[in-house]
Amino acid sequence: MSNSDVSEEETRKDYSISLIPISHTKPTHSFATLIAFAILQSKSKKCTLSHIYQWISDHFPYYDINDSGWQNSIRHNLSINPSFIKCEKSKYCKGHFWQIKPSHRSLFPVEDVTEMTSFKEVILETQKPDCEMEKKVGNERELNNISKKITKKKCRNLANKQVESRLLYNIRNRYTSSFNSTFEEIEYNATSSSSQLGIGTSEENSVEYNFVERPSSKGSSRTRSVTPFQLFNTPKKNWSF
């Protein structure tokens, strides 16, 4: 067995682990921990309330973005917990930024973020929504609408859910960092792609997905069918929806 075979086998193993349905069950982490993770994953280590909501809901669909109960708890926690400090008002988003009090930083080991999500490659390679970049988010309301649209799609199995999560990340990343396509393009592609999310078989590990592979140049897009394994290991730059 060659080195590359070993490497691939190991990665497959990791991938299968990522299918553990942790994100559908009630997280064992406290709200404070979830808030801290949401903050720590951002490049600037500060988040607005809505970013915190979104991050938690993205990673733990148990917390529906349309439910207000847990969001009330989040707000309560931010106010009551001395680990969190409110800093300057966001210039482009609603509300203030929230940070972790530096002296409390050690209470929230960042390594748990990757362990928790079992999505190491996404965490490490995907540029997540970052308040620092907010000035490039010209239209956050539309972005949230896209997210809701996709989130509402019924997923037949966990693999679909994972892909869905990946899509959300990529949409945001595309929207916040490159901003090189119009909102209409994103919406169209996201819609068409999410409509394809339901076609997988019930066999989790053999589900195939279609996604649009778009060359960086303006050439025409083409669809390609990939396995979840291929999908998760496709470099972000080759993604489009």
Residues found near DNA in the complex (CB under 7 A): 29-32, 48-50, 53, 69-70, 72-73, 75-80, 86, 89, 93-96, 98
Minimum CB distance to DNA, residue 90 (Å): 8
Minimum CB distance to DNA, residue 94 (Å): 4
For residues 173-190, one letter each, b for 16 or more C-beta atoms within 10 angstroms of the residue's C-beta and e for the rest, the string is: bbbbeeeeeeeeebbebb
Minimum CB distance to DNA, residue 195 (Å): 26
- Residue 68 or 202: the one with the smaller Cβ distance to DNA is 68
Minimum CB distance to DNA, residue 145 (Å): 12
- Residue 107 or 110: the one with the smaller Cβ distance to DNA is 107
Minimum CB distance to DNA, residue 48 (Å): 6
- Residue 75 or 105: the one with the smaller Cβ distance to DNA is 75
- Residue 64 or 204: the one with the smaller Cβ distance to DNA is 64
One-letter amino acid of 221: S
- Residue 98 or 211: the one with the smaller Cβ distance to DNA is 98
Scan for tokens 């195939």, then name that residue: 208
One-letter amino acid of 85: I
Minimum CB distance to DNA, residue 32 (Å): 6
Terminal CA-CA length for the chain: 36
- Considering Cα of 165, then 168, then 171, then 176, what sign does the dihedral take? negative
CA distances from 58 to 55, 65, 126, 222 (A): 5, 8, 14, 28
- Residue 75 or 224: the one with the smaller Cβ distance to DNA is 75
Minimum CB distance to DNA, residue 81 (Å): 7
- Residue 15 or 31: the one with the smaller Cβ distance to DNA is 31
Q: Are 217 and 237 in contact (CB under 8 A)?
A: no
